[in-house]
Amino acid sequence: MRRAGAGLWAALAVGAVGVVGTFAVDGAQRFWANWILWFVVAVCVALGALFIVALQHVTGAMWSVPLRRVPERVAALTPWLVPLALIALFSLPVSFSWTQPGAAASATVALKTSWLNYPFFIARLAVCIALWVLSYRMLVGGSLRQDKTRDPAATIRLRRYAPVFMILLALTLTAFAFDWVSSLEAGWYSDIFGAYLFAGAVTSSLAATTLLAIYLYRRDRLPGVTPDHLYNLGGLLFGFTIFWGYIAFSQYLLQWYANLPAEVFWFQQRTMGSMQGVFILLGVGHFFVPFLALMSRRDKQNWRRLRWVALWVLFMEFVDVFWLISPIQGAGLHLGWPEASFALFFVAAGLLIVRRAMGMGEHMPVGDPFLADGLKFHLR
Distance in Å, CB of 21 to another protein, minimum: 38
Nearer to another protein, 246 or 337 (CB): 246
Nearer to another protein, 76 or 168 (CB): 168
Q: 52 to each of 147, 198, 234, 253, how far by Cα in Å?
A: 19, 12, 14, 29
- Residue 296: is it exposed, middle or buried by C-beta count within 10 angstroms (0-12/13-18/19+)? exposed
Binding mask 229-258 for another protein (x = CB under 8 A): ------x---x--x---xx-xxxxxxxxxx
Q: Is position 194 an interface residue for another protein (rule: CB under 8 A)?
A: yes
Segment lying near another protein (by CB under 8 A), choices 13-21, 129-137, 189-197, 202-210: 189-197
Q: Is position 102 an interface residue for another protein (rule: CB under 8 A)?
A: no
The residue within the footprint of another protein, chosen from 10, 86, 89, 262 (CB under 8 A), is 262
In this structure, are residues 12 and 350 in contact, taking their beta carbons and an 8 Å threshold? no
Nearer to another protein, 12 or 233 (CB): 233
Q: Is position 288 an interface residue for another protein (rule: CB under 8 A)?
A: no
Neighbouring C-alpha atoms within 13 Å toward the C-beta of 168: 20
Would you give the DSSP letter of residue 182? G
Tell me which residue of 214, 176, 158 sits closest to 46, measured CA to CA. 176
Q: Is position 93 an interface residue for another protein (rule: CB under 8 A)?
A: no
Compute the distance between CA of residue 197 and CA of residue 192 in angstroms, rounded to an integer.
Answer: 9
Q: Name which of residues 28 to 87 contact another protein (CB under 8 A).
A: 60
Compute the distance between CA of residue 55 and CA of residue 64 in angstroms, rounded to an integer.
Answer: 10
Nearer to another protein, 362 or 373 (CB): 373
Compute the distance between CA of residue 311 and CA of residue 14 in angstroms, rounded to an integer.
Answer: 23
Compute the distance between CA of residue 171 and CA of residue 336 in angstroms, rounded to an integer.
Answer: 35
Q: Name which of residues 156 to 175 contact another protein (CB under 8 A).
A: 156, 166-167, 170-171, 174
The residue within the footprint of another protein, chosen from 23, 80, 189, 312 (CB under 8 A), is 189
Compute the distance between CA of residue 215 and CA of residue 233 in angstroms, rounded to an integer.
Answer: 14
Residues binding another protein (CB under 8 A)? 60, 107-109, 111-112, 115, 152-153, 155-156, 166-167, 170-171, 174, 178, 189-195, 235, 239, 242, 246-247, 249-260, 262, 295-297, 369, 372-373, 380
